[in-house]
Amino acid sequence: MSVTINPQIQLVSRPHGEASADNFRLVEVAMPELQDGQVLVRNHFLSLDPYMRGRMNEGKSYAQPQPLNEVMLGGTVGEVVASKNASFAVGDKVVGMGGWQHYFIVDASQRGMLQKVDATHIPLSAFLGAVGMPGVTAWYGLVKIINPKAGETVVVSAASGAVGSVVGQLAKARGARVVGLAGGAEKCRYVQEELGFDACIDYKPHADVKSLSAALKTACPDGIDGYFENVGGLILDAVMSRANAFSRVAMCGMIAGYNGEPIPMSAPQLILVNRMKVEGFIVSEHMEVWPEALKELGTLVATGRLKFRESVSEGLASAPEAFLGLLKGRNFGKQLVRLV
């Protein structure tokens, strides 16, 4: 199959404060010829993730800044449509970092650039969510940092999202009492009724730490032993006020500060008073656990024991608005863009 034109979305300017659609541009680029060792992939789904906001900035973050006037980087699932690599055949379903574009060419001889996946019992899109990077992120933070014992209380922020929803279900499977935080009654209903959390707090009515702390006291009568942090700010302060001695916090994301807002901690002394372990992590730095994590996640999804929800936006042109909506919490579950 020969492809000559490839539509893609590029980052053309860096945001000042909030990101906007003007930071992106839809362009068409010419496709080069396939070289030996290379594979041409047609993307079926693009993954939109909060970490992409940090990469849009020039400043120092854990990920390299996204280059300007180049395709937006990000995870993709798709199908091999042409191959000059013996390890990949036309029709193979693959996961990679294909970016916001219809097609991408990858040197598949570089280890880890492209992974074959079996979509027989697991939907292809799930390899970008529950059985992909978000799922492994949830698994690592819960299993390796929080490591809950049966009967302990684990709190999860952004509980209806791609990462938080998996954290809670994995914690329940390990015998913990699980309390979620989410924005709005509908998301909280889903977290409790569908995902099986023991309780879920809608943070929206709580304007200050005292109010949210009181809600946490009701939901967590025995205090908090583990906390999976996706948000930061007021939510972190409220959780710390209810934390038990020797509690563990997995620092995954700080979405409250993604547009450059300051996010001070109101009572950092609680880390000492409660002898808390607070550990940040980036899941791509722990590739050694991916096989174990993906085996558990894949089995749970294939057997229907791990539930997940997706917000799917249609067509490449919809990606910027869908991404901006994700940063404002408009998505419900894992945010994807469908291209095929």
Output the pLDDT for position 106.
96
Output the pLDDT for position 63.
74
Output the pLDDT for position 336.
98
Q: Which long-range contacts (CB under 8 A, 24 or more apart) does 13-19 make?
A: 13/68, 14/56, 14/57, 14/58, 14/68, 15/56, 15/57, 15/259, 17/259, 17/260, 18/259, 19/53, 19/56, 19/259, 19/323, 19/324, 19/327
105 contacts 88 by C-beta, under 8 angstroms: no
DSSP string, 142-182: IIIII-PPTT-EEEESSTTSTTHHHHHHHHHHTT-EEEEEE
Rounded-to-integer distance, Cα 319 and Cα 296, Å: 31
Output the pLDDT for position 1.
67
pLDDT tens digits along 279-288: 999 999 999 9
Give the mean pLDDT of 140-152.
Answer: 98
Cα separation values, 194 from 169, 178, 281, 291, Å: 10, 13, 28, 27
- pTM of structure: 0.92
Confidence of residue 242 (pLDDT cuts 50, 70, 90): very high
Output the pLDDT for position 157.
97
Confidence of residue 260 (pLDDT cuts 50, 70, 90): confident
* Residues of the chain above pLDDT 70, percent: 100
Residue 81: which H helix or E strand, with range? strand 76-83
Mean pLDDT of the chain: 95
pLDDT tens digits along 32-67: 999 999 999 999 999 999 999 999 998 777 778 999
271 HSE (CA, 13 A, CB side): 10
Confidence of residue 110 (pLDDT cuts 50, 70, 90): confident
Domains of the chain: 5-129+308-338 (3.90.180.10), 133-284 (3.40.50.720)
pLDDT tens digits along 193-216: 999 999 999 999 999 999 999 999
